[in-house]
Structure 1
Amino acid sequence: MQGHRAVLIKDREEARRFMEEIGVDQAGYAYMEPKAVFRCIKLKDIPCRAANIIKQEMLSKGGEAAVKRDALSSVGHTDVLLMGTLKHYRLLIKKLKVQPFGLKQLAGEIEAILEGVDKKSFTIELHGGKTLELGNRTLIMGILNVTPDSFSDGGRYSDPARAVERALEMKEEGADIIDIGGASSRPNATIASEEEEMERVLPVLKELVKEDLIISVDTFRGRVAKACLDLGAHIINDIGRFQMDPTLLPVLAEYNAPAIIMHNRMQMKSGEPYEDLISDIIVELKESIKQAEDMGLKKEKLIIDPGIGFGKTVEQNRLIVKRLWEFKSLGRPILLGASRKSFIGHTLNLEVGERLEGSLAVAAIGIMNGADILRVHDVKETKRVAMMTDAVVRENG
């Protein structure tokens, strides 16, 4: 009896490993690797005349393209699902670059998506001279809420001395980054004033910058960010993706400081329904990336967060976790912040203090689907899950 089986090949490295096991001549790697990796790309709202060219070209290269039923005779628009190997895409891109109807630009976007999903490592230069290496293992960001009203640990660390003690404890438990927040963004919260936020955050930050820590500050305000960067913070974690305070982005550009941009419709498009959840989030994150680049803050300084919670339904949050890998299309590191959140509570019918196992399950799924950073309350437990999951996911290519 032979051990015939199906195999799952996620990228060119895995394709090469299978060929090495077989004993393929090395000269054949470059030729065969692109044929072994299959990708599906969804294009949104393409003019039908352009979509028909894409379909014809993809079919002629040996791939496939799905369009709406009446696309051939329609003058409207259609989504397109491209299906093919890396070789098919290489040939398609080459041909689209000489086509009209905006297809040259679209070819560049397809190329960028393919590069993004294959990118495995990132080096981000932090404010203050440190660097953040992403991709070799999952990084753990420990949550340090110095607020009286955060949804999970509100009031526990509002005393600066206790907050510093907790930060050092999280470092010992395995945190790579400490994220200090002084203005609660929990549902129905009244957001603290700038003065309150700084009174809470700055005394803690002043002490923590003396330690060997990478420090992120969870703020959407330009004035708060400036004060924190002046004290030595390394990263700004913005829940509003530059939309909640127009003064934030100019500060980040001035300091050349990295930022985490989180998707959030609660402030900008509150109540507006999603037409296509993942695509809509990607579009809005792209808008923020372009906004940063236009201001002079390079894309390489940005980390994306799809924004678990923040006006999304329980089902939508679960879908984001399931399809997290698709956000790699943006070519930036992904932060997943799901720890103890209400979608876990609603799924398991558990209160905040009982959501550890659900949070750990989401953490493991997140890592398997491409998360580079996990923002968590339970550092020690999540660190262990991340180490085990990394050992499975990252070993052997």
Structure 2
Amino acid sequence: MSVTIRNVIVHNKKESLAEIISTGADISGCRLMAPKGVHRLIKLTGLSPKQANIIKQQMLSRGGEAAVSRGVIDCSASEAIVLIMGTLKQFDGLVNILKMQPFGLPKIGARIKQVLKNLEGRSPVEIDCRGKILLLGERTLIMGILNVTPDSFSDGGSFYNHEVAIEHARAMVSEGADIIDLGGESTRPGHESISVEEELDRVIPVLEKLVREIDVPVSIDTTKAEVARRALLAGAHLINDQWALRADPDMAHVVAEYDVPLIIMHNQKGTEYNDLMGDMVQFFEESIDTAVNAGLAREKIIVDPGIGFGKTLEQNLETMRRLDELSCLGCPVLLGTSRKSMIGKVLDLPVDERVEGTAATVTLGIANGADIVRVHNVKEMVRVARMTDAMVRR
């Protein structure tokens, strides 16, 4: 009999347990071994040298590892970065001992524990959009883009006429869209801002008909609190803020007042980062705190990595490769790559020839944890999502 030797990839404790059970080991032993079969790398920034030294020592004492920045050992550094490496079993021991340590370490331990829990994955969850329910996690949801603008990068002017816009929304729903995202202001590079009144004139007449004529939730893509408020009064079901509550200080209070789901997109001026994904996670944590402090439940927040916003081509591609690192937040992820310049630059194709490139990004995005994809070509991307779901969702 020949011997077969191969690697096994597990993503969480559940998959680890299944692999161990497949060996025929005693079930009680399988449960004890499962946390040892999952290895995690957790990065902490902004620590004091004292905190970093204790975390490193405690992780090493459990057979794990911890890399620390220079100057930590002799406390000459003002701030420390620690990369902790170990199994779930070792992390569990670390978290338990941090509960009894000084220097604010119990709180840090609790946050590590929450991140580890988030990385185990989320069960399908229902989000209430003012009576319309979205089930996230069972299959990928499709958000159809409806721009009632004269200057959006891909379809500017195509649906500027209200009746044409409404007919297009109906068509997207018939093709399988789970959400319609209605926007009245272009966010293309070099776009000119418009007034609240002009944005309302574009959006409200279409919205008022949509909420009566289609069965799926309608999202309003805006950064203005007054537009969001008027849209919610007119029946909108969720808000999509491309500046993550940072463009208008009243936005968080409006969303919390109406208790609707909120999409926050990563965005920034310029493309400078200390740590691309680390900076993005910090950005989201700050915006999530803003929303929660205003009264919105964290469970109603969806994050969007903002492909094409505040990022170079290489940074966009890196974000796509590392998208699953956002799972540490424990929030559903929306991905919007449809027809974007990232695809045009890689394939050297104009906007109207980027369907296949969009399909590739949707596939990778779903494989890396996206719950919702925001697209122009609904029929085609529904098929892409269903095929990808069949391969990656269990």
The bucket for the TM-score relative to the shorter chain is over 0.9
Partner of 2:390: 391
Q: Deviations over 1:153-177 (max 9, x none)?
A: 0111111111111111111222111
- 1:66 is paired with a residue whose SS is strand
- 1:104 is paired with a residue whose SS is helix
Q: Deviations over 1:316-342 (max 9, x none)?
A: 111111111111111100111111111
Partner of 2:17: 16
Q: CA deviation at 1:147?
A: 0.7
Partner of 2:183: 181
Q: Distance in 1 between matches of 2:183 and 2:377?
A: 16
Is the Cα contact below 8 Å between 1:124 and 1:300 reproduced in 2?
no
Aligned ranges 1:289-308 → 2 under 5 Å:
289-308=288-307
Partner of 2:58: 57
Matched, 1:110 2:112: yes
Amino acid of the residue matched to residue 192 of structure 2? T
Aligned ranges 1:1-150 → 2 under 5 Å:
1-76=2-77, 77-150=79-152
Q: CA deviation at 1:214?
A: 1.4
Q: Distance in 2 between matches of 1:2 and 1:174?
A: 48
Q: Distance in 1 between matches of 2:71 and 2:223?
A: 46
Partner of 1:216: 219
Partner of 1:198: 200
Q: CA deviation at 1:57?
A: 0.6
Q: Distance in 2 between matches of 1:52 and 1:172?
A: 58
Is the Cα contact below 8 Å between 2:127 and 2:136 reproduced in 1?
no
User: Structure 1 vs Structure 2: percent identity of aligned residues?
Assistant: 50
Do the aligned partners of residues 272 and 157 (structure 1) sit closer, same or farther apart at CA in structure 2, a change above 3 Å counting?
A: closer
Is the Cα contact below 8 Å between 1:175 and 1:379 reproduced in 2?
yes
Q: Deviations over 1:365-389 (max 9, x none)?
A: 1111111111111111111111111
Q: Distance in 1 between matches of 2:99 and 2:124?
A: 28
Q: Distance in 2 between matches of 1:45 and 1:72?
A: 16
Q: CA deviation at 1:65?
A: 0.8
Amino acid of the residue matched to residue 93 of structure 1? V
- 1:309 is paired with a residue whose SS is coil
Q: CA deviation at 1:272?
A: 6.6
Partner of 1:321: 320
Q: Distance in 2 between matches of 1:23 and 1:170?
A: 50
Q: Distance in 1 between matches of 2:40 and 2:74?
A: 28
Partner of 1:157: 159
Do the aligned partners of residues 262 and 124 (structure 1) sit closer, same or farther apart at CA in structure 2, a change above 3 Å counting?
A: farther
CA RMSD of aligned residues (A): 1.5
Partner of 1:337: 336
Q: Deviations over 1:9-33 (max 9, x none)?
A: 1112212222333333332343121
Q: Deviations over 1:210-248 (max 9, x none)?
A: 221111110111111111111221110000111111221
TM-score, scaled to structure 1: 0.95
Q: Deviations over 1:21-79 (max 9, x none)?
A: 33333323431211111111111132222211111111111211111244212331221
Partner of 1:281: 280
Is the Cα contact below 8 Å between 2:11 and 2:120 reproduced in 1?
no
Is the Cα contact below 8 Å between 1:134 and 1:333 reproduced in 2?
yes
- 1:209 is paired with a residue whose SS is helix
Q: CA deviation at 1:87?
A: 0.9
Q: Distance in 1 between matches of 2:147 and 2:225?
A: 19
Is the Cα contact below 8 Å between 1:338 and 1:362 reproduced in 2?
yes
Is the Cα contact below 8 Å between 1:127 and 1:232 reproduced in 2?
no
Q: CA deviation at 1:122?
A: 5.0
Q: CA deviation at 1:119?
A: 3.0
Partner of 1:351: 350
Q: Deviations over 1:232-267 (max 9, x none)?
A: 2111000011111122111111111111011111xx
Q: Distance in 1 between matches of 2:225 and 2:72?
A: 47
Structure 2 gaps, min length 5: none
How many pairs were matched up? 391
Partner of 1:382: 381
- 1:14 is paired with a residue whose SS is helix
